[in-house]
């Protein structure tokens, strides 16, 4: 029962025959049980007409018209990766490739349309991730402006493939036109509270790509440890890491993370949070932190970065010069959250400085003084910066392209209103602190968040460029991070990618159960949503 | 600075020189940072005198006086296991064994004192798990009545071994006399809500042994699936498992679990919960479950086991005859919790039966009627039984040796009072439902429970024979079970093994951090308690 369709244009498709399904699966779950796209594409049509994919014959190839070709290693790698996701260990036998059946889908042609496919580039905040996918025997076509959109489309294509009762891969006749609702869709991992071995980070980058996340916010250092190995200041990790050899990220480790992420269309934004959250910095750099006083004497403990010494700013200038060279992304996250004033208050030199500057007893002015100088230092490296909301709240003068991250749950809507009202772009993480675990299906809580649900003009709403799911590191390390993050973060992935109208929880549940099993099949130990089983259970321990 | 000691008897040791530490570490944590016994032994003395253990020379051997010898495969296996825990991959070189240094500990002699070492037996509720351990160069001696106490002592010995700054294994001069406070120390795993692959069960049996747990309460089937492959009724798993081949425990799987547990001194108590929690049984056995009615017609759904048909009891007799043969433990858990009366109420035949029996409208009488017959059936197989508290609450007549499991958190103390007041032995699981997760260090909540903290006579307190940490399966499977269980269950392990007085949380924290790292080093992905790191981090994903 093949269904013929004529399209005026591929993506202004009009359904003219019975059997097409549009966007929403509700009520038709049974019919297309196998199809479990996550996140839900913007425009989606599928029919019950199915084609078979043979590991012997099926290929992913560059379209003739594509600006990308075999020397585009990013795509070549992606072709292999998705072939393996779909067929696993099944071997290709070149010999029998000629024999093609009518019901076969024999190829996916990937057509990159821009003159520059960006094979060797990096994704950015401005990247166009849209793609168009048409599946119809004997060929499917994936069209995108650049490799980044092609990556998203490859993921979707692979999600359309399902096993029938014989274990044969099938795909239904489908047309998809897709693009993200928000440009910044991030995951924050924290490698300071616990060290995260490289392979844990890489596994989670893989899982991110399966969920169309495109930013790895790497909260790489903090009070507890400094695992980033700096070429300029090697003593930072030598004395600040949990262990100077086994618990550090070498320059080549960092490169590998960045390249592994790039291959999946993921930006790596490192966070070097100052002036608070810097205890571990103080181990390697003398005089960087403020000495705290007990009465008239130094207590032997230290507070935030010392904002009254020129040496602090000289250090930061050198340090961020290195960071801006090591990390290719246009943005660096500079932190700026939770600065504790007690140590500054105890220190008589800081007191004098406050007086000289006319700050009175308002230590937030001192904080702003530090941050302002830091921002100017980083701006001079030609990087943009992201900051936690306190920096904005304290009235620091920010560059126009600053991204303010709203993380405090209390009065979140008011903060979004204020930040966007002041004309700054913002991302939301307040509702998505995934380190706060609880019994049951908390993914639903994350899923129900509507990021634009705050009072503001259309112009203000446009300044919300995305959000982040944050898994802070107090209680996670290599033993439990991955199953705790997935599929809970998948709820955030769909909220940030799919249309605002995609809010049906029971439909989402059905798709997410299968998406979770797909991640498991691909080797990611994503935890179960609820009772049940996967066709292919987790094979690790 | 060797410290000479003369003992009147090995275990009536008197400290005659400086440097001995007794039981409690508090305030001396720094001195013996390396020693992190978990659970804390009953009597413990250690000095700063250290001996080195060389993988080339050190051996675990049978003492000459021991009733167990090289043909005791349980101990031979345990010797190898603990050698590997201590030395990992380090190879032994037979050649150089002769060269012994004064500061070496060259052997641990294991001395089983009973005429029957029980090498081929099974542990039981009556098993004596006590042991005495004396470490002093050049030999250590571990003395126990039987292999079960020897296993506990081997675990303790291996925990005494620590790496010095060179990575060399050291052990301090130590005397320990130890025994469990409670005889029943269990872990409940649920293989019905999610199927648990064999290797997940085995890994958790390993972790249980590291924590001196001695009962694996295997909640093997439930509403959601029936993975137990029955020889008598193969259709139970054929139609009741998530998948009849990939999601079942074959007879040889079950044997392997039992043997793997036995080798570690762990009893396997299977739970076949009836008459509720039996939806999956109904798939394979026609007429076993009560047909529910909607008005005057069967609704097509089914309720608990049908208590009014003789065929139900005939089935149970045959089924439990098999179970009693397959599982060697003296106890079977018969469940009996959470019976929903709605279906029985809807069924007109059940109504007639109630009338005939003079039960009025009290369906708990019908429940008791069923349970009473089931208990008699199981008693006829010469097995003892455990039941959930409802069975006792409903006034069912129980055998004297019945173990009643108290699981309802509300009025837990009252229930313990009532059950023991009626003369029944009881175990506590109410405060230890580890499936209820929350943010932060919830192990402390589990640790602070005092099982005997209820009003009752000494005789009543003696009837509390232990407890169980329960990890119900709604939200866990192979992807996340192990890190979610450990080290949270370790808190329960110490509560059930160590003396009542061992309650210092900060001391427990310090030891548990290290115990957790030890589990990680041994390959168990036990999650972190809080920020920090392990010397040997988890090598899996």
- β-strands B464-471, B184-190 pairing: parallel
- pLDDT class for A541, splitting at 50, 70, 90? low
Residues of chain B neighbouring A439 (CB-CB closer than 8 A): 435-438, 475
Q: What is the largest CA-CA distance in chain A?
A: 88
Mean of pLDDT values over A468-484: 98
Interface size between A and B, measured as CB pairs under 8 A: 128
Per-residue pLDDT at B16 exceeds 70: no
Q: SS3 for B379?
A: helix
Count Cα atoms within 13 angstroms, Cβ side, for B145.
Answer: 9
Residue A291: its H or E element: strand A289-294
8 Å CB contact between A155 and A268: no
Touching check for A166 and chain B: CB below 8 Å?
no
Mean pLDDT confidence for A170-182: 97
Taking each helix axis from N to C terminus, what angle separates B147-160 and B198-210, rounded to the nearest 10 degrees?
A: 80
Q: Band of the pLDDT at B92, cuts 50, 70, 90?
A: low
Q: pLDDT tens digits for B60-80?
A: 999 999 999 999 999 999 999
**What is d(CA A45, CA A40) in angstroms, rounded to the nearest whole number?**
12
Q: Does A244 touch chain B (CB under 8 A)?
A: no
pLDDT above 60: residue B53: yes
ipTM above 0.85, yes or no: yes
Mean of per-residue pLDDT scores for chain B: 92
Please give the pLDDT value at position A10.
35
CB environment B26-49: b (16+ within 10 A), e (fewer): eeeeeeeeebbbbbbbbebbbbeb
Q: Which two tokens stand for residue B292?
A: 């529910």
Instruction: Compute and round to an integer the Cα radius of gyration of chain A.
Output: 25
**For residue A20, what is the enclosing H or E element?**
none
The dihedrals phi and psi of B221, each to the nearest 5 degrees, come to -135, 160
Q: Please tell me which residue in A65, A84, A314, A338 is annotated as part of the active site.
A: A338
- pLDDT at site B18: 37
CB A363 within 8 A of CB A341: yes
**pLDDT tens-place string over residues A260-291:** 999 999 999 999 999 999 999 999 999 999 99
The whole-number pLDDT of residue A102 equals: 79
> For A380, phi and psi rounded to 5 degrees?
-65, -20
Per-residue burial over B364-378, b = 16 or more CB atoms within 10 Å of its CB, e = otherwise: ebbbbbbbbbbbebb
Q: Provide the percentage of residues in chain A whose pLDDT is more than 70.
A: 91
pLDDT score of A101: 76
- Which of helix, strand or coil describes residue A63? coil
For A41-72, where are the alpha helices, taking DSSP H only?
A: none
Q: Is B355 among the residues known to form the active site?
A: no
Interchain pair B531, A193: CB under 8 A: yes
Task: Specify the pairing of strand B403-406 against strand A289-294.
Answer: unpaired
Q: Do B476 and A527 touch (CB under 8 A)?
A: yes
Q: What are the tens digits of pLDDT across the range B417-455?
A: 999 999 999 999 999 999 999 999 999 999 999 999 999
Average pLDDT over residues A65-75: 97
d(CA A376, CA A398): 9
- Say what the pLDDT of residue A2 is: 32
Whether chain B has a CB inside 8 Å of the CB on A101: the answer is no
pLDDT at B370: 97
Residue B55 pLDDT: 92
The arithmetic mean of pLDDT across residues A352-357, rounded, is 96
Evaluate whether B307 touches B275 at the Cβ level (below 8 Å). yes
Is the model more confident about A165 or about A517?
A517
A434 Cβ contact partners less than 8 Å away, ≥ 6 residues apart: A446, A469, A470, A471, A484, A485, A488, A489
User: What is the spatial distance between Cα A442 and Cα A429, in angstroms, rounded to a whole number?
Assistant: 16
User: B137 falls in which pLDDT band (50, 70, 90)?
Assistant: confident
User: What does the H/E/C string look like for B241-272?
Assistant: CCCCCCCCECHHHHHHHHHHHHCCCCEEEEEC
Nearest to A531 among B194, B526, B540 (CB): B194
Report the pLDDT value the prediction gives residue A218, as an integer from 0 to 100: 98
| Region of A174 on the Ramachandran plot (φ > 0 left; ψ -120 to 50 alpha; else beta) | beta
Would the pLDDT of B7 be above 50? no
pLDDT at position A99: 66
pLDDT digits 0-9 by tens, B341-391 = 999 999 999 999 999 999 999 999 999 999 999 999 999 999 999 999 999
Q: Dump the DSSP string for B41-100.
A: PSEEEEEEEEEEE-TTT-EEEE-TT-S--TT-HHHHHHHHHHHHHHHTTPPP-SGGGG--
Encode pLDDT of A385-414 as tens digits: 999 999 999 999 898 999 999 999 999 999
Q: Does A199 touch chain B (CB under 8 A)?
A: yes
Residues 429-488 of A with CB under 8 A from B: 435-440, 473-480, 482-484
């Amino acid at each position: 029962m093949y269904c013929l369709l004529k399209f005026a244009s591929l993506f202004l498709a009009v359904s003219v025959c019975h059997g097409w399904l549009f966007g929403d699966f509700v009520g038709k779950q049974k019919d297309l049980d196998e199809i479990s796209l996550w996140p839900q594409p913007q425009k989606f049509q599928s029919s019950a007409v199915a084609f078979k994919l043979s590991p012997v014959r099926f290929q992913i190839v560059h379209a003739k018209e594509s600006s990308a070709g075999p020397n585009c290693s990013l795509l070549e790698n992606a072709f292999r990766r998705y072939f393996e996701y779909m067929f696993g260990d099944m071997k290709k036998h070149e010999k029998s490739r000629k024999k093609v059946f009518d019901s076969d889908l024999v190829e996916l042609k990937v057509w990159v349309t821009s003159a520059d496919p960006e094979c060797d580039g990096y994704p950015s905040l401005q990247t166009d991730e849209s793609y168009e996918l048409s599946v119809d025997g004997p060929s499917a076509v994936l069209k995108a402006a650049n490799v980044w959109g092609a990556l998203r489309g490859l993921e979707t294509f692979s999600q359309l493939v399902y096993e029938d009762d014989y274990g044969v891969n099938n795909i239904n006749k489908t047309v998809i036109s897709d693009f993200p609702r928000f440009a910044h869709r991030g995951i924050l991992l924290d490698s300071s509270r616990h060290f995260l071995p490289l392979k844990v980070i890489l596994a989670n980058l893989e899982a991110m790509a399966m969920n169309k996340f495109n930013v790895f916010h790497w909260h790489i250092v903090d009070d507890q440890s400094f695992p980033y190995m700096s070429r300029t200041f090697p003593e930072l990790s030598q004395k600040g890491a949990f262990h100077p050899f086994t618990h550090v990220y070498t320059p080549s480790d960092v490169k590998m993370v960045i390249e592994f992420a790039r291959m999946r269309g993921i930006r790596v934004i490192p966070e070097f949070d100052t002036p608070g959250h810097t205890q571990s910095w103080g181990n390697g750099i003398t005089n960087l932190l403020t000495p705290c006083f007990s009465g008239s004497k130094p207590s032997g403990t230290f507070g935030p970065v010392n904002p009254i010494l020129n040496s602090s700013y000289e250090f930061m200038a050198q340090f961020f010069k290195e960071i801006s060279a090591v990390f290719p992304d246009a943005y660096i996250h500079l932190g700026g959250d939770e600065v504790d004033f007690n140590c500054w208050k105890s220190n008589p030199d800081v007191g004098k400085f406050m007086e000289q500057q006319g700050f009175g007893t308002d230590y937030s002015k001192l904080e702003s003084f530090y941050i302002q100088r830091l921002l100017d230092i980083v701006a001079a490296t030609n990087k943009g910066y992201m900051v936690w909301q306190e920096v904005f709240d304290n009235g620091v003068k920010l560059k126009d392209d600053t991204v303010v991250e709203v993380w405090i749950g209390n009065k979140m809507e008011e903060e979004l209103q204020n930040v966007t009202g002041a004309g700054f772009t913002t991302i939301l993480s307040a509702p998505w602190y995934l380190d706060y675990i609880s019994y049951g299906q908390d993914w639903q809580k994350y899923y129900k968040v509507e990021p634009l649900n705050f009072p503001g003009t259309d112009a203000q709403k446009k300044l919300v460029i995305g959000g982040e799911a944050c898994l802070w590191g107090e209680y996670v390390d290599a033993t439990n991070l991955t199953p705790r993050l997935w599929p809970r973060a998948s709820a955030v992935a769909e909220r940030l990618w799919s249309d605002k109208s995609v809010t049906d929880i029971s439909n989402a549940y059905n798709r997410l159960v299968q998406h979770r099993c797909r991640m498991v099949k691909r080797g990611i130990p994503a935890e179960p949503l609820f009772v049940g089983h996967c066709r292919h259970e987790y094979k690790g321990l």
